[in-house]
């Protein structure tokens, strides 16, 4: 029986871009704003957006499985 469709996929990556009220953190694969506890991550100040990008990317890599570096 095959595993989940994303079992060998690269983890999601996140980036940030300016928006009308600050910065948006978004999922690169979908170009949609990231959601944390259901809240779209838009209108953030630059430092918070940058910290969130780092955190989400770190969590996505950890979720990727047993690969260790």
Specify the pLDDT at position 63: 84
- Cβ-count burial 13-36 (b if 16+ within 10 Å, e if not): ebebeeeeeebbbbbeeeeebbee
Query: Encoding tokens for residue 22?
Result: 């600050």
Residues 6+ apart with CB under 8 A from 29: 12, 13
Residues 6+ apart with CB under 8 A from 46: 22, 23
Per-residue model confidence as pLDDT tens digits over 53-69: 999 999 999 987 333 33
Q: How confident is the model at residue 8 (pLDDT cuts 50, 70, 90)?
A: low
- Per DSSP, what are the bridge partners of residue 24? 17
- Every domain of the chain and the residues it spans: 14-63
Whole-prediction pTM: 0.77
């Amino acid at each position: 029986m095959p595993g989940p469709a994303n079992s060998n996929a690269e983890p999601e990556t996140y980036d940030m871009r300016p928006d009308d009220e600050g910065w948006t953190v978004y999922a690169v694969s979908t170009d949609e704003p990231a959601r944390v506890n259901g809240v779209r991550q838009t209108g953030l100040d630059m430092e918070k957006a940058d910290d969130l990008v780092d955190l989400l990317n770190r969590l996505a890599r950890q979720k990727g499985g047993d690969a260790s570096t």
